[in-house]
Each structure stands twice: as structure tokens, then as C-alpha cells.
Amino acid sequence: MSNYDTLNPMQQEAVFHTEGPVLILAGAGSGKTRVLTHRTAYLIEEKGVNPYHIMAITFTNKAAGEMRERIDDLVGFGSESIWVSTFHSSCVRILRRHIDRLGYDNNFTIYDGDDQKTLMKDICKRLQVDTKIYKEKSFLGAISHAKDELISPEEFALNVAGDYSKKKQAEVYAEYQKMLHKNNALDFDDLIVKTVELLKADPEVLNYYQERFRYIMVDEYQDTNTAQFQLIKTLASKYRNLCVVGDDDQSIYKFRGANIYNILNFEKEFPDARVIKLEQNYRSTKTILNAANSVISNNVGRKAKVLWTDNEEGDKVNFQQFDTGYDEADYIVRDISKKVRDGEYNYGDCAILYRTNAQSRLFEERFVVSNIPYKVVGGVNFYARREIKDLLCYLKTIDNARDDLAVRRVINVPKRGIGATTLAKVQAYANENDLSFYNALKMAEDISSLGRSAVKIKPFVTLIQTMRSKAPYLGVADLLEEILEETGYLEELKAEGEEEAQARMENIDELISKAVAYEEKCQSEDTEPTLSGFLEEVALVADVDSLESGSDYVVLMTLHSDKGLEFPNVYLAGLEDGIFPSYMTITADDPSEIEEERRLCYVGITRAMEHLTITSARMRMIRGETQYNKVSRFVREIPEELLGHAPEKVRLAESVKARTYEQAKTAFRAKVAYAGTPVDFASAATESQSLPYTVGDRVRHLKFGEGTVTNIVAGGKDFEVTVDFDAFGVKKMFAIFAKLKKI
């Protein structure tokens, strides 16, 4: 039996209120997972609800795994019947059973970002789109946004009016969906969209899942988009026992389609909803929480709440401002080294958080020199590596031969002497006869234009057909071994060079280990391991899920990657106006943009449990330009009494000490050079030895607008130009990057 006395009064209210719509506003570190797991136990133990009728849904595999583990521990027997899953995994499970009602085969492929880019390139080529004018990435962005809002290609086309650019997007969107359907494939957005479409189109399926999910709980509700909201609303509309848990102050994924108004307007959608606030924080010190509250209170678009804690006061927030980004990196790495050496923390207790991925470079170089273990979250995803993509595409071809992208990727891997001309002829035949690319390959002997090339295609088709016949009897790991054996893939890898091949073979070994782990997991859950199931699991892996608990290394990640995590010792780096918040945010007409950035800062601050260090630099090299930045407005929103060194540091924001940018850069380079990892700093030759402007001239910059040249220094292969811009203040930059125009 669960012990509900261990919950605080507001947590108990959230657990015991089980009927009707409920909004739980759960502040950072307020124990929301504990509430959800106890609520699940209460439904079963006290309310007599069959576990089969409970659904708990969240965003990441990591969060779903943690919730599943804690529910199993709390509930015990019968807990396996509870549907604990991510949004995307839930939709895949539903679609695997019923998508044939929408005209797809149930063994559809899930396209990742690389697959989408490849498909979009093909579409742009087919539609003769000038990709110098219309970027493939912008098409994918427009399509994703439309799907987030449940806007179909037909509806999109109706709304373009006289906008030629939107008309082109509508044309590409329609073709993109047509090709996905032809390939029996869905992208990630489709997983939600098609499930909503299915539920609205098929009353039988809708009734089945409404009866199945009589009690629905949604975690991280502030991150839902319009499509996810419609999915949840549709499923819950019969019994209306919908409990959503979230924090509007932690809504930071607008760029991914998250709609903060889902949580802000919950009571409008459900007028009879009970609203319960969890404001007691169990994670951080009083000082850290006070700093977080002081920042987020500046936002207007939020529900009023104030985090508090019974934890100790704790150290002041350590604010440090440096002359340059090099000094900042040097300080943080030395500080981590000292804290570990003094026994205060382990490496795994420390995290460096920053606004953009590019900021990791200086820290990484310094860690290498200091021989400190670290991991960058947000690097190249394991499943995006070439050899892994190759083998997964073999598996996809065996599982779903309608997936043209997968077939085209591996038909010449390893090399089979099948040229681009041959592939183009096969594709033309497929288009003319409305066939998949693979089915056209099977009919190669009937394609007269191929001539002798048809002979080269036959072995590939035979290989795939053989593997397809073996797939039902072999495990996924054994199937991978067969593919490697039959294709000679490893032999071709070895031809690339010993060191390169070794790293790639280690990755392949890891993929086989993943397949074995998948099969073992299925066995423990008493479910049938399938090729489709393995590919589905791989497709739904999020990068942050790869963060192993218990590993002793410093974690480096962007602020967007850190939500849901906590660390005893946190460094928030690069807190400067222009970096965080960014110039685009500062200059945006929409005030909600700066509020989103402020929420991001709030999330960063509340990751810290015991010690928080905030750093900024007066000078920082961005895209080859030395920028002079003020201390971030978010730091200035923290009361001075909470900041160590704050008064003098903030007042010195506009001054520059004796140590120059070049001196800092040279010193930093010297430190990393002896470790055998020399840093390649930007330098470029100017097109001529003289500039079309001089000191005192007015110039225009593409981003910073108009300004006055105050200094020019000839150095090496380029000129260093200092400009006092009217709107952005003093910037120092290399002439070749600046591209200044005299006015």
C-alpha cells in the first residue's frame, strides 16, 4: 500500500482529486513525478480503477522510463497494464494496429530528420524548385508548423491567397505528403496528426481507445502543441478524467511548435477544471530559488506562483564577468577541477549550460587539456552515423520495401556497380507504372532501357528477398549479423583505413548490442520482438535519453536540452545581452519572444541544487567578429544581495581591463597547443590591401545597421575594424567577415 502521508498538503490534493479535469501547476523541483505515481496508485488502490484503463503520457523516453519504474515499484502487481508512454510511442502503437484504415500498411517506416531532408531534396529536384531562393530547410519548417496546427496540404493551399512564396510551400507540402504515402512512411509530426485523423474518421477506433483510457494523465503539458492537445482532448472527451501537469514558466519549446496557451487557457477549455499549485521545491537552496523567482516574475504571460523551500539558505549565486570567452572557459574548467580535487563534487555533479551549441567548443578544448572527462549532449546522434544509417536502411528495406529512401541508400552499399543512370531509369519506370522503387527493381528484366545493367540489380533483389524470408525466424541481432556477412559490409569498411574502420565497427557492435537489449526487454515484458518494433524504438530515441545516470563526467548542453535534469553544481555560461537573450530576441517586435528567453533562463537556474555560477564575457568572438556585450538583463533582474561579487561586477560591465582579447586568445591557444590539439582560429585574407573606408567614415553592416568607424588595425592577413553602431554599440570585427559598406 502507498503511504500518502509522505506527501505535502497540495500534493495530497492533487493525488486525491481524481474525477473530472485537473490542472496541476507543478513548479520546478516540486515533486510532480511523485504526485503522478501516487495518483496512479491511489486510482487503483482506493478508487478501484482497473490499471488497464489508466494512461500516463509524457515527452521523452527517459521520463517515461522513470515513471514506469516508479509506478511498478509503487503499484506492484497489475502495473504492467498501465499505458505509460511518450506521445509519439503511444501514437505509433495505435497506428501499428489501425493505420490500414487510412490507406497505409501497418509496417510503415518512421522518417527521421535526415530522411526528411533527402526526400525534400528529391521533391525540389522533381518540382524544379530553385533551392538558392527557396531553401529545403524552410519548406520542412513550414510543413512541420502546419502539421503542429493540424493544417492539411489542402487547407494550407486554400490559405495562401496571393502569396507566391506560400503557394510554392503549398505545392511542396502536397508533394511531400504524397511521397510519404507512396513510401508507406510517416515523419514524426505525422505520428500525432495521423492518430488524430484516425480517431476523428473512425468512430469504432475512437470508442475503443476512449473506453481503454478512462483516466488520462499528461506530464510536461506546457510543451504540447495544438495537434497533441487535440489528441488528448479527443481521447478524454467521453469520461473527461483528464489530469495535466505542467509549468507555464518552463515552456521553452515554442520553436518546436509548443503552444503555451494550451496550459494558460486550460480553464477556458475546461471551465469546471480544478487548478492545484505545487510551489514547494525539494531541489534547490533558498538563494537559488529566490534568484529564479526574481527573474521569472518579470514575465507578464504567466500564472502567478512563487517557489519556496524548506532547504537551507545556501551559497550566494557566484557571478563572474570576464574579459573574453577564453577567460570564461578557463575559469569554469579550473573551478570544476578544484572542486573535484577538494572533494566537494564529482565530475558527474557538474554541468555547463549555454544558449547555443557553438559555445561548447572552448570548454571542450580546455577539458581535453585538463584531462577532464566530459560529454556533450546534442552532438551527432548515434543513429545518425553513416554505418548505423546504412544498416538501419537495410533493416527498413527488409521490413518495408515501399520505403524508397531506404532502398536507394543501400542499393549500392557496398558498391555493386549500379550507376546513377541505371537508378534514374528504374525510378522513371516506377513513376510511369505507379510502383515503389523496390518493386520496380524486382521487375528490372522487364525494363528495356536497362539493357545489361539489369543483371547487376538482380543480386541485390535476391539478397533482400532472402532476408525477408528469414526475418520472421531470426532475431534482430542475428539478422544484422546475416546482413554484415552476406553483403561484405565490414570488408568494405576496412578498406577505408584501419583507424576509421575500427571506430565504425565499434559503432556496429553497439548497434548489435542494442538489438540484443531490445530482444531481452521484450522477453522480460513477455512481448514478441519484431523487426518493426526494433525500428520503431530506434526511431523514437531522443538525444537527452542517452545521458547515462551514474556516469562520472561533466555534462555540457544547451539550455533547451536540460529540462527535467538536476545537478548539484551548475554553470550558466554566456549570460550577455546579444547572446542570451539573443539579438534577434532583443530586437523582435513580439514581447513574447523575450518572455520565452526569460523562461529558458529560469529553467537553467532551477537545474542547480546546491551551487550556481553565472558567467559572462565583455568581449566574445561571434562569426569572426569581436563583439562587446553588456551583462545579460536576466542577471540584472537578480537582486544584488543574492549575487556574490555582484555590485562591482555589474558596474564594470562596460569597462575593459588591461588584458586584451588578443592576449586572452594567445594565452588560451598556448594552453591547448601543448596537448597536441592546436586551435584553428579564424583568419582570412582581404581582397585588397586597402579598405574602401577609414576612421571617421560612416558605414553600414548587414545586421547591425549604420555606425561610425572608430579604429582600424592592420594585423596579419586582415584588418581589425572597430565600429560604434548607432543601435548596437561598439563592435570589433575582421574586415573580411564584416563586409562593411561606406555610406
From residue 342, how far is each of 236, 335, 337, 339, 624 by CA, in Å?
54, 10, 9, 5, 38
Of 460, 472, 349, nearest to 410 (Cα)? Answer: 460
Among residues 11, 32, 389, 402, which one is catalytic? 32
Give yes or no: 256 in active site.
no
As a whole number of angstroms, the distance between CA 490 and CA 502 comes to 10
Burial class (CB in 10 A: 0-12, 13-18, 19+), 26: buried
Distance from CA of residue 212 to its chain's centroid?
Answer: 31
As a whole number of angstroms, the distance between CA 546 and CA 544 comes to 5
User: What stretches of 113-225 show up as alpha helix (H) in DSSP?
Assistant: 113-126, 136-148, 153-158, 164-182, 188-201, 203-212
* DSSP-assigned beta bridge partners for residue 185: 109
Of 646, 2, 7, 568, nearest to 336 (Cα)? Answer: 568
Question: CB of 166 within 8 A of CB of 173?
Answer: no
Burial class (CB in 10 A: 0-12, 13-18, 19+), 634: buried
What residues have CB less than 8 Å from 233, skipping those under 6 apart? Answer: 242, 269
| Local structure of 714: helix, strand or coil | strand
Positive or negative torsion for Cα 480, 484, 487, 493: positive
As a whole number of angstroms, the distance between CA 151 and CA 196 comes to 12
How many other β-carbons are positioned within 10 Å of the β-carbon of residue 433?
Answer: 12
Burial class (CB in 10 A: 0-12, 13-18, 19+), 181: middle
Q: Give the end-to-end CA distance of the chain in Å, rounded to a whole number.
A: 78
Q: Look up residue 439 and give its three cell numbers.
A: 518493386
As a whole number of angstroms, the distance between CA 14 and CA 161 comes to 48
Question: CB of 518 within 8 A of CB of 529?
Answer: yes
As a whole number of angstroms, the distance between CA 201 and CA 11 comes to 39
Question: CB of 245 within 8 A of CB of 217?
Answer: yes
Among residues 219, 328, 536, 597, which one is catalytic? 219
Give yes or no: 310 in active site.
no
Among residues 190, 220, 482, 577, which one is catalytic? 220
Among residues 402, 425, 563, 607, which one is catalytic? 607
Question: CB of 440 within 8 A of CB of 427?
Answer: yes
As a whole number of angstroms, the distance between CA 400 and CA 106 comes to 10
Give yes or no: 219 in active site.
yes
Question: CB of 453 within 8 A of CB of 438?
Answer: no
As a whole number of angstroms, the distance between CA 388 and CA 394 comes to 10
Q: Look up residue 608 and give its three cell numbers.
A: 542547480
How many other β-carbons are positioned within 10 Å of the β-carbon of residue 25?
Answer: 26
As a whole number of angstroms, the distance between CA 578 and CA 647 comes to 22
As a whole number of angstroms, the distance between CA 155 and CA 134 comes to 21
User: How large is the greatest C-alpha to C-alpha distance in the chain, in angstroms?
Assistant: 83
From residue 425, how far is each of 65, 274, 451 by CA, in Å?
47, 63, 11
Among residues 37, 109, 228, 250, which one is catalytic? 250
Distance from CA of residue 490 to its chain's centroid?
Answer: 32
| Local structure of 376: helix, strand or coil | strand
Give yes or no: 33 in active site.
yes
As a whole number of angstroms, the distance between CA 286 and CA 217 comes to 30
Among residues 11, 33, 58, 585, which one is catalytic? 33
Of 632, 628, 622, nearest to 574 (Cα)? Answer: 632
How many other β-carbons are positioned within 10 Å of the β-carbon of residue 343?
Answer: 7
Residues marked as catalytic? 32-33, 219-220, 250, 607
